[in-house]
Amino acid sequence: MPERPSILLRRPVAFDTTSSKSNLELIDFVADVLRGQGIEPHMVPSADGAKASLLATIGPKVPGGVVLSGHTDVVPVTDQAWTDDPFAVIERDGRLYGRGTADMKSFIAVALAMVPEFRARTLKVPIHLAFSYDEEVGCLSAPELLERIVRVLPKPALAIIGEPSEMKVANAHRGITAFVTTVTGRPGHASAPDAGVNAIAFAAECVAHLGRVAGEFAAGRQPGDAPVPEHTTLNVGRIEGGSAVNIIAAHCHFAWECRPAPSVDAAEVRSMLESFAEAELLPRMRKVAPEASIATEQTVAVPALAPKAGSPAEALALSLTGQNQCGSVPFASEAGMFQGAGIPAVVCGPGSPAQAHQPDEFVSLEQVDACANFIRRLADWAERR
């Protein structure tokens, strides 16, 4: 008898697949489950072999199938106050607690649990499973996985990305572009601050400028807007610099992100910072240290997901859920990358976005069951085609 998704979920959560670690134990587990059903998965390893994506097909090798896509990595639990072991599923009051239960191992567990049902059907079009790694740090494995999908598989008709959306169909999200800005000054003894250029102090001015830019974008938001911001947002997530309290800091760098509105290009925001640095900061820095510099490098670029008229992904997902319109989600996902590769995509998965990345993350049993019913109806559709 097929294992229930809520039971099967215990194994994926037990593997600590924080993005900084390997996901191979989880991938091997998924591969074993599939091989037990007579399905041979294909691995797409990382360059160093420490991680891998997985691709598998159930049903006939013909065009028009559906990709069920999810990522295997999770965010860290460091400095989070968890009630229980985050890598053990705890069931309490109709909820399953554990890191990744909502984001997004429940979707993976449901898809795996449904494989025996897929195998028992006479599918007219295939159901593909595509599980990636390093999504949480910039969708880093998705381009290679998508290249493999486009090159190897008969063209899928659509993709369903099972990120937590409370099983509501989403056809839109903003993209995300991440940068690292490095400020180089001149070191010196802290007793003579005018003899050096403090990179931390000038980095702080850069951060303050980004805060002003973010405020200008937010000022355009109208009262009553949806909780998901439609305007461009900025966040400085990490800053590091200096070597000792009594030394003028020679270097400082900070990591920041831009989630642009559809009418804004993240490159424009980068240019705003570079123009500010060129006009306001570098002249002051170079009076003392001609070698001083402020340089910004792009590290991540994840495209937005945009609504598309006549999208087969939207039409099918709405029909399977019984919903009459699509919404948006507040996070970026691999859905925009599928769309960019010519595979129409939507986001629809169990769990709430509010639980993602939180301590005591959970998914409700009701959501897991709703996802199972959704995928079962998908199998009905694939059988009727």
CB 241 within 8 A of CB 200: yes
- The CATH number of the domain where 121 resides is what? 3.40.630.10
Q: Is there a single domain that holds both residue 281 and residue 365?
A: no
pLDDT the model gives residue 226: 54
pLDDT the model gives residue 222: 54
pLDDT the model gives residue 31: 98
Q: Is there a single domain that holds both residue 144 and residue 259?
A: no
**Domain tally for the chain?**
2
Q: Is there a single domain that holds both residue 34 and residue 154?
A: yes
Identify the domain boundary among 301, 319, 344: 301
Identify the domain boundary among 276, 301, 326: 301
**245 burial class (0-12, 13-18, 19+ CB within 10 angstroms)?**
exposed
Q: Is there a single domain that holds both residue 263 and residue 339?
A: no
Identify the domain boundary among 274, 301, 328: 301
- The CATH number of the domain where 213 resides is what? 3.30.70.360
Q: Is there a single domain that holds both residue 308 and residue 369?
A: yes
Q: Is there a single domain that holds both residue 254 and residue 323?
A: no
DSSP output for 177-213: EEEEEEEE-B-EETT-GGGSB-HHHHHHHHHHHHHHH
pLDDT the model gives residue 227: 52
DSSP output for 293-313: EEEEEEEEEEPPB---TT-HH
- Distance CA(69)–CA(97), nearest Å, equals 22
Q: Is there a single domain that holds both residue 219 and residue 308?
A: no
The structure's pTM equals 0.91
pLDDT the model gives residue 364: 97
Q: Is there a single domain that holds both residue 166 and residue 180?
A: no
Q: Structural domain of residue 13, as residue ranges? A: 5-173+303-384
Token couple for 54: 């997985």
**Could you tell me what percent of the chain has a pLDDT over 70?**
97
Whole-angstrom CA distances from 195 to 109, 186, 226, 252 are 60, 8, 51, 18
Token couple for 166: 């409370």
Q: Is there a single domain that holds both residue 255 and residue 151?
A: no
pLDDT the model gives residue 1: 44
Q: Is there a single domain that holds both residue 344 and residue 377?
A: yes
Q: Is there a single domain that holds both residue 125 and residue 190?
A: no
Q: Is there a single domain that holds both residue 290 and residue 309?
A: no
Residue numbers of the chain with a pLDDT score lower than 70: 1-2, 221-229
